[in-house]
């Protein structure tokens, strides 16, 4: 077997409807900018499509044994039943089967000590996987408008976050006052066991990063570093995977 030249970053890949030629079918796909960010950092991006067999811990362990790091990407709301909450009237699209499969992969990656990065929904998944809960809709004094000013766009959705000095998030971002590209209407509420909030919105205090306490490398960010070519967040996952290998 050839020695790996690049760390293998598995990207948990959702099913979405896609159209090509005359066909319109469910497809395992992920936005190209996630792949580009991994590749720019010297990683080998590998799609990990939905597989219900990963609900068996042994199968999930087998899948992550092929990887050096795991990336959990953005997407729709998590099913609130998964963290013991009733559905909010402003809840949006949900994919419960995706939740269950990605939570199983996350648990396997943590058992294996793999570096894990969660982006937006991925950060929320990390929190729910640790027993935490979510605000299902930012409203009132914690307005959605600051975090998702325009649906389907990243331009104009920038804001500032404050990051704890010395944290994994600060090391990944390269600074403690960071301009982020944001697009979300949910946020971490009760923080999961073994996690710490290490970044918050500079104005409204909404949690913007969580990380594992005493784990090799577990980071969730509420913003979208894949949409910012200057961001070093995804590169930090690749570097952590390289160092762990």
Report the C-alpha gap between 92 and 89 in whole angstroms.
9
- Concerning whether 159 is annotated as a catalytic residue, the answer is no
Q: Using CB atoms within 10 A of its CB, is residue 144 exposed (0-12), middle (13-18) or buried (19+)?
A: middle
Alpha-helix residue ranges (DSSP H) falling in the chain: 32-40, 57-64, 96-112, 121-129, 168-173, 233-244
Count of alpha carbons within 13 Å of 194, Cβ hemisphere only?
Answer: 14
Which distant-in-sequence residues (6+ apart) come within 8 Å of 35 by Cβ?
A: 11, 45
Catalytic one among 147, 178, 224, 239?
224
- Concerning whether 224 is annotated as a catalytic residue, the answer is yes
Angle at 53 between CA 51 and CA 56, to 5 degrees: 135
- Concerning whether 120 is annotated as a catalytic residue, the answer is yes
Catalytic one among 79, 102, 226, 239?
226
Residues recorded for the chain: 245
Catalytic one among 120, 147, 178, 211?
120
As annotated, the active-site residues are: 120, 224, 226
């Amino acid at each position: 077997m050839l020695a790996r030249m690049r760390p293998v970053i598995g990207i948990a890949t959702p099913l979405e409807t896609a159209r090509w030629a005359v066909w319109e079918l469910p497809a395992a796909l992920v936005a190209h900018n996630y792949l580009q960010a991994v590749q720019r950092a010297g990683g080998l991006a590998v799609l990990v499509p939905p597989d219900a067999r990963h609900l068996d811990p042994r199968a999930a362990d087998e899948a992550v044994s092929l990887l050096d790091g795991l990336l959990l990407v953005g997407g729709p709301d998590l099913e609130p039943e998964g963290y013991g909450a009733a559905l909010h009237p402003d809840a949006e699209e949900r994919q419960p089967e995706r939740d269950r499969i990605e939570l199983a992969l996350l648990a396997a990656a943590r058992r294996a000590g793999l570096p894990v990065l969660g982006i937006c929904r991925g950060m929320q998944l990390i929190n729910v996987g640790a027993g935490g809960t979510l605000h299902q809709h930012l409203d009132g004094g914690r307005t959605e408008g600051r975090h998702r000013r325009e649906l389907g766009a990243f331009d104009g959705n920038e804001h500032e976050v404050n990051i704890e000095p010395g944290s994994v998030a600060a090391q990944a971002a390269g600074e403690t006052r960071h301009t982020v590209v944001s697009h979300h209407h949910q946020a971490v509420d009760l923080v999961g066991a073994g996690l710490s909030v290490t970044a918050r919105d500079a104005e409204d205090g909404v949690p913007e990063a969580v990380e594992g306490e005493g784990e090799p490398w577990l980071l969730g960010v509420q913003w979208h570093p894949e949409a910012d070519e200057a961001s070093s967040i995804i590169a930090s996952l690749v570097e952590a995977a390289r160092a762990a290998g």
